[in-house]
């Protein structure tokens, strides 16, 4: 065993020198202090880099098929009343959602931007308790009431017990209400007067949409939408058809999916003031599917987007377009992935060893150069050769 230990001892690459032969110098002490400080600072720097997360970005072809996109929005119109503002969504697959009210909140705003009232399903009066029958007479209290849809019934069993239901029936038929004062339900609800009472008000509309993962558009416009001879038309009501609509707006928030840490949506906080009435403000959005994985392995599947915009006015000589704010979106075939991770612990150890060993070696070379230089200079001074 002793022979084996002696053989191992002979392999020592760091032979020890007896302490009696050490000669400590002031320059060596200064170099040791300086090199120790440098080693400490570089160690702290490497430790911060190791603890800091690194984001790896990749571009891939998006091979997903189908699916849905959630669009979250918060838009303020300071010059359009809530009772006339509607939201529609249409995509290239032919699916349409007109006058969307589900998961939509409208806030009536006064001219100073203060909230007057908040309603979840937009502006609409309650149903009439005792509407007219289709034949024009009234029913007794103990009978079932069924209001007339004024020719827009899809079947004999359809009833329109409120002004809003009559307007919806007309919209589904592709008809416009030319004289809403002739609708008994609207007269009894005071529908026109309600809209007139909101004159000068603005509207904040916020909520979310779920649309197919295909190209399409959604838009905010005054009036109800319907199709007539394959043409998209807004029913602005006869009493308000001649009004000018100022589509000035502020986009407080617009996101296609959940928020991604560190990503700022380009339309958040955008504010546009328009002096030209009845114009069409168009945003052309390119949606990029994005997958974000944080350091804990939590994955967020969302979207980023870029945008360009265009304003189309209704000046003389131009074709009349629908007043409103339109968002035309299309999807990119490229998907972006972000993945957070730490650098390798082995790389961290390698860098630390390189720092300590490198500075120790360089400090040793500097110390040896200074020591032998001082020694040679002292020797020359002793023999009188230094001048």
Cα separation, 294 vs 301, in Å, equals 12
Task: Report the relative pairing of strands 280-293 and 324-331 from DSSP bridges.
Answer: parallel
Q: How confident is the model at residue 289 (pLDDT cuts 50, 70, 90)?
A: very high
The least confident of 121-135, 149-163, 219-233, 307-321 is 121-135
Average pLDDT on 179-203 reads 79
Flag the least confident range among 69-78, 252-261, 369-378. 369-378
Q: Could you report the per-residue pLDDT of 141-160, keeping only the tens digit for each?
A: 435 667 888 878 877 778 88
Q: Is the pLDDT of residue 136 over 70?
A: no
Could you report the per-residue pLDDT of 326-371, keeping only the tens digit for each? 999 999 999 999 998 877 788 889 999 999 889 988 888 888 888 7
Token code pair at residue 133: 């029958």
Does position 278 have pLDDT exceeding 80, yes or no?
Answer: no
Which tokens sit at 78?
């300071």
**DSSP letters spanning 186-200:** HHHHTHHHHHHHTTT
**Which pLDDT belongs to residue 189?**
78
Tell whether pTM > 0.75. no
The rounded distance, in Å, linking the Cα atoms of 387 and 368 is 24
Q: What pLDDT is attached to residue 18?
A: 64
Contacting residues for 146 by C-beta, under 8 A, at least 6 apart? 131, 133, 134, 159, 161
Q: Assess whether pLDDT exceeds 70 at residue 383.
A: yes
């Amino acid at each position: 065993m002793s022979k084996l230990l002696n053989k191992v001892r002979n392999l020592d690459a760091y032979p020890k020198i007896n302490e009696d032969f050490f000669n400590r110098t002031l320059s060596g002490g200064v170099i040791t202090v300086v090199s120790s400080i440098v080693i400490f600072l570089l160690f702290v720097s490497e430790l911060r880099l190791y603890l800091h997360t690194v984001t790896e970005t990749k571009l891939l072809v998006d091979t997903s098929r189908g699916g849905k996109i959630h669009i979250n929005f918060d838009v303020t119109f300071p010059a359009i009343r809530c009772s006339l503002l509607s939201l529609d969504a249409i995509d290239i697959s032919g699916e349409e959602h007109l006058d969307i009210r589900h998961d939509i909140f409208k806030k009536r705003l006064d001219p100073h931007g203060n909230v007057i009232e908040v309603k979840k399903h937009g502006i609409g009066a309650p149903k009439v308790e005792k509407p007219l029958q289709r034949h024009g007479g009234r029913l007794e209290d103990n009978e079932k009431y069924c209001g007339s849809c004024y020719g827009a019934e899809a079947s004999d069993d359809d009833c329109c017990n409120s002004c809003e239901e009559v307007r919806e029936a007309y919209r589904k038929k592709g008809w416009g209400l030319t004289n809403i004062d002739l609708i008994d339900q609207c007269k009894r609800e005071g529908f026109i007067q309600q809209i007139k009472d909101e004159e000068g008000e603005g509207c904040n509309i916020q909520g979310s949409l779920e649309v197919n993962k295909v190209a399409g558009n959604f838009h905010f416009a005054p009036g109800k939408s319907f199709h007539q001879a394959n043409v998209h038309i807004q029913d602005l009501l006869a009493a308000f058809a001649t009004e000018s609509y100022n589509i000035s707006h502020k986009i407080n928030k617009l996101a296609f999916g959940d928020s991604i840490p560190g990503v700022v949506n380009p339309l958040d906080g955008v504010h546009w003031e328009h002096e030209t009435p009845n114009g069409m403000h168009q945003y052309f959005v390119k949606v990029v599917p994005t997958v974000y994985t944080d350091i804990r392995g939590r994955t967020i599947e969302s979207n980023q987007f870029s945008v360009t915009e265009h304003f189309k006015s209704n000046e003389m000589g131009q074709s009349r377009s629908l007043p409103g704010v339109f968002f035309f979106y299309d999807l990119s075939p490229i998907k972006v992935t972000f993945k957070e991770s730490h650098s390798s612990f082995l790389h961290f150890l390698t860098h630390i060893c390189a720092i300590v060993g490198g500075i120790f070696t360089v400090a040793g070379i500097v110390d040896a150069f200074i020591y032998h230089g001082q020694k040679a200079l002292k020797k020359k001074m002793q023999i009188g050769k230094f001048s």
